[in-house]
């Protein structure tokens, strides 16, 4: 297999660019020419995957979420998560935390040691290990805690010129929405932009994202950029979201899993071009090989890197005729030699399959009743008991 950087394959009859759809995205002192952000995804958006995305298109690429407590304690894995390649600019990290003092300390470490050019705060994670401790998507319900955390992060980053942004969900469920109030608070305390995943914590990743909520947030928060997130599976989806909501840019998560070339499509779309990548199986195989190489470089351990690659295989080969046995074997690769052998056995002349390769990626799941701390919904304010519990909450959260 070749080890050269894969190149995009354009659709025949592509039209030339007709002009930018949106102006560049300004996040504090940063200018993002293509207003697209790669959402941080645990176990996915490491430096290897971010490089693949950067080689395909343009935008702001956020590293995997890191907990503030683990970062302050300089955990080996946390420091690896926030590491960036020398040519990666701007460098972006996402911090999760439920204690203002710890979050501030983590942001100060990042900014003062010049480890990132941008810090995002996670108020969007819906997974139970996060929400059961009052974190992620359910935290803005405690409005004083939300204000304290965001203010502390902004103040810690300000002396170093590092902008802070907020990524959040609509709220806990449809009866406990928080996003409009949270957006206004974020704007008031100096956040550089807000991003909304247009689902509640209860929605998890199910159903259809409520893009109308993005439009309402854009109408409410008028002084800083508002970014939309949810159900962007193609460049056309991104353009439609902008058209429907008036948002200033988009955040892409699951849509790029196994498809880093989506960023080439997005760059073209926002430049006003209809050029799109339509990869045959040979192109997909080259990207998989490149991804694996980068993973080995990133982890410095071939066995670990290939284990991490396994989750990506189903995403990469979605819609292609691969065969059940081969598909299963690709999901069990343990070495580069084994990967090369599996890829060589594919029908590399197979063309792009069209619709079967498009659409939703990953597991959508079903709505879930959020797991909350006992009594969390009783008040919008934070009791002293909750405050003491939250101070220790990050100790058992790592990713999400």
Q: What is the mean pLDDT of residues 167-189?
A: 98
- Mean pLDDT for 79-83 is 92
- Whether residue 95 sits in one domain with residue 131: yes
Q: Are residues 55 and 154 in the same domain?
A: yes
Confidence tier at 320 by pLDDT (50, 70, 90): very high
Using alpha carbons, list the distances in angstroms from residue 332 to 42, 56, 259, 303, 309: 20, 27, 20, 11, 9
| 16 is a domain residue | no
Residue 119 predicted with pLDDT over 70: yes
Confidence of residue 4 (pLDDT cuts 50, 70, 90): very low
Give the Cβ contact number of residue 94 at 10 Å: 26
User: Which ranges constitute the DSSP H helices of the chain?
Assistant: 47-56, 68-72, 76-81, 100-112, 128-131, 143-157, 179-189, 211-220, 235-245, 262-270, 281-299, 302-316, 324-330, 336-344, 384-391
**How many Cα atoms within 13 Å fall on the side-chain side of residue 95?**
35
pLDDT on residue 384: 80
- CA atoms 59, 93, 38, 308: torsion sign: positive
In angstroms, the Cα distances linking 307 to 88, 279, 311 are 25, 25, 8
360 part of a folded domain? no
Give the model's pLDDT for residue 141.
97
In sequence order, which residues have a C-beta less than 8 Å from that of residue 66 and are 6 or more positions away?
78, 81, 82, 93, 94, 95, 96, 106
Instruction: Based on the fold, state whether residues 116 and 235 are members of the same structural domain.
Output: yes
At residue 389 the predicted structure's pLDDT band, cuts being 50, 70 and 90, is confident
Whether residue 200 sits in one domain with residue 344:
no
**Domain total of the chain:** 2
In a domain, 7, yes or no: no
Q: How far apart are CA 53 and CA 32, in angstroms?
A: 15
- 34-51 pLDDT, tens digit per residue, is 999 999 998 899 999 999
Task: Please state the rounded mean pLDDT for residues 221-232.
Answer: 97
Does 103 share its domain with 191?
Answer: yes
What is the predicted pLDDT for the residue at 259? 95
Q: Is residue 6, in this structure, part of any structural domain at all?
A: no
Which residues form the catalytic set? 125
Q: Are residues 263 and 306 located together in one domain of the fold?
A: no
Query: Is residue 111 within 8 Å of residue 160, measured between CB atoms?
Result: yes
Residue 290 structural domain? 281-355
Q: What is the pLDDT of residue 393?
A: 59
Please check whether residues 118 and 262 belong to one and the same domain.
yes
Residues 171 and 296 in one domain: no
Q: Do the strands 164-169 and 193-197 form a parallel or antiparallel pair, or are they unpaired? A: parallel
The whole-chain average pLDDT of the chain stands at 91
């Amino acid at each position: 297999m070749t080890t050269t950087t894969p190149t995009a394959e354009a659709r025949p009859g592509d039209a030339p660019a007709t002009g930018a759809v949106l102006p560049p995205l300004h996040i504090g002192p940063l200018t993002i020419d293509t207003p697209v952000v790669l959402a941080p995804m645990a176990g996915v958006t490491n430096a290897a995957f971010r490089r693949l995305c950067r080689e395909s298109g343009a935008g702001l690429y956020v590293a995997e979420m890191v907990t503030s407590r683990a970062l302050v304690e300089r955990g080996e894995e946390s420091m690896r998560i926030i590491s960036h390649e020398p040519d990666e600019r701007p460098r972006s990290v996402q911090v999760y935390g439920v204690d203002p003092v710890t979050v501030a300390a983590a942001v100060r470490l990042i900014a003062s040691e010049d480890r990132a050019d941008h810090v995002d705060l996670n108020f969007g994670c819906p997974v139970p290990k996060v929400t059961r401790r009052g974190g992620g998507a359910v935290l803005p319900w405690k409005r004083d805690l939300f204000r304290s955390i965001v203010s502390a992060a902004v103040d810690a980053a300000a002396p170093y010129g590092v902008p802070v942004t907020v990524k959040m969900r609509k709220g806990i469920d449809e009866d406990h929405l928080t996003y409009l109030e949270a957006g206004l608070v974020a704007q008031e305390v100096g956040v550089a932009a807000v991003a909304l995943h247009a689902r509640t914590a209860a929605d998890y990743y199910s159903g259809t994202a409520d893009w109308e909520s993005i439009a309402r947030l854009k109408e409410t928060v008028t002084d800083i950029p508002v970014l939309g997130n949810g159900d962007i599976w193609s460049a056309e989806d991104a353009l439609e979201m902008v058209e429907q909501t008036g948002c200033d840019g988009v955040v892409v998560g699951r849509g790029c899993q196994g498809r880093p070339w989506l960023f080439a499509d997005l760059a073209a779309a926002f430049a006003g071009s209809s050029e799109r990548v339509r990869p045959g199986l040979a192109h997909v195989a080259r990207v998989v090989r490149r991804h694996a190489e980068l993973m080995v470089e990133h982890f410095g351990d071939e066995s670990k890197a290939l284990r991490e690659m396994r989750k990506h295989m189903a995403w990469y080969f979605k819609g292609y005729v691969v065969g059940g046995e081969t598909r299963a074997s690709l999901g069990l690769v343990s070495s580069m030699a084994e990967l090369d052998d599996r890829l060589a056995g594919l029908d590399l002349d197979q063309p792009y399959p069209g619709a079967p390769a498009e659409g939703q990626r990953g597991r959508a799941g079903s709505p879930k009743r959020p797991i909350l701390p006992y009594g969390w919904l009783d008040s919008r304010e934070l009791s002293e008991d909750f405050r003491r519990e939250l101070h220790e909450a990050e100790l058992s959260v790592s990713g999400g």
